[in-house]
A = this chain, B = another copy of it.
Amino acid sequence: MAIAAIIGAGMMGSAMCWPLVDNGHEVRLVGTPLDRNIISTLQKEGYHPTLQRVVPKGVHPYQVEQLGEALDGADCVISGVSSFGVDWFARLVGPKLTADQPVLAVTKGLDDQPNGDLLVLPEATRRKLPSQLQDQVKLNAIGGPCIAHELAARRQTGVVFAGEAPDTLRWLRAQLSTPYYHISLSTDVIGVEICAAMKNAYALGVGLAVGMMEAAGPDGLARMYNPQAALFGQSTLEMHKLLSVLGGSLENAYWLPGPGDLYVTVFGGRTVRLGKMLGQGVPFAEARKRMAGVTLESVEIITRVARALPWLETRGYLQMVDFPLLLHLNEIINQGKSAEIPWDRFRMDVL
């Protein structure tokens, strides 16, 4: 039996309680300052208000002030913050970590640098840690398709744990494997994380077609999966291109982290809800207003990667014409354009 501290009591972080408790571990679930109500409800009723589910026995909720207490003696730390919480995690949690506490992050995102470099979040996090810890703490991440509600319902789920140290990965798998939580391993942190981040961008792209279908209305027996599927195929193509540019291992483009995670995200809620509105012709500013208060990682990742692409092109790493869908999503989000899929730019001749 081990002790796991989960930092961040959002949906995904909290869902990790289930495989941990089912393996007999003690789980300390620590809220960020944003999770105050979640933690106090958990403390009073054992009920998680956003997951809308009673958490299993063996989960101990902590407010952020008790962070030190929660980390004390923990065998591993699970980071459940969103990409917007990485700075907070590095600043507040970082200095309290010890070298023998591996970190496993559910966070998805890419951090763009002024020169166009795109950092995966474990690397971005590492750079923000106290210098004496940077090379010692083992930062790992989870990729692959996993909706939090479903993990908490113990639905069959296949994920990839990515990190630099195989032994640490194997140890983490041993702690978390259950008959419903199936864990593959990869030392390709860059590849797994690029897919984990980009699937949010591209799910928005597939969502455009869902919105267009709804705007077009029914036409006899014809639904509108051809356009969704064309966007899906274009998405995996662009993800593969980005993997090859940024040095990620290519199997992710045809495995759980790429198409697997994109598939689940298309069904997953907020990203596609936004994509549908945009596909129906709602301008982004208005759609953003209608989703006030909702964390939209898709918008963040599209903006960051689209901002990096010209720099990477100038430096000779890629050609922007290879990312027509991503660039169109950026036009919609950051340049006030309405959704008009650039189908002709998707044409690829393998001759």
Contact = CB atoms under 8 A, between A and B. Distances in A.
Interface of A: 51-53, 144-147, 149-153, 155-158, 166, 169, 182-188, 209, 212, 219-230, 232-234, 236-237, 239-240, 249, 251, 253-261, 263-264, 267-268, 341, 343-344, 346-351
6 contacts: A155-B224, A156-B341, A183-B347, A230-B260, A254-B254, A254-B259
B156 A227 contact: yes
A225 B203 CA distance: 14
B263 A228 contact: yes
Given A145-B230, A254-B240, A222 B153 contact: yes
A151 B226 contact: yes
A241 to B, nearest CB: 9
Contacts of A221: 51-53, 149
Contacts of A256: 229-230, 233-234
B222 A236 contact: no
Contacts of A158: 226, 229-230, 233-234, 343, 346
Nearest to A233: B260
Closest A-B pairs by Cβ, 7 of them:
A233-B260, A153-B222, A145-B229, A158-B230, A229-B264, A233-B256, A186-B350
Given A158-B234, A187-B350, A236-B255, 13 more contacts: A52-B221, A53-B221, A150-B224, A150-B225, A152-B222, A156-B212, A157-B226, A225-B268, A229-B256, A229-B263, A233-B255, A236-B236, A240-B251
Contacts of A223: 147, 149-150, 267
Contacts of A212: 156
A227 to B, nearest CB: 4
A52 B187 CA distance: 52
Contacts of A344: 182
Contacts of A147: 222-223, 225-226
A348 to B, nearest CB: 5
Contacts of A253: 253-254
A199 to B, nearest CB: 10
A147 B223 CA distance: 9
A258 B232 CA distance: 10
Contact of A232 (B222, B260, B341): B260
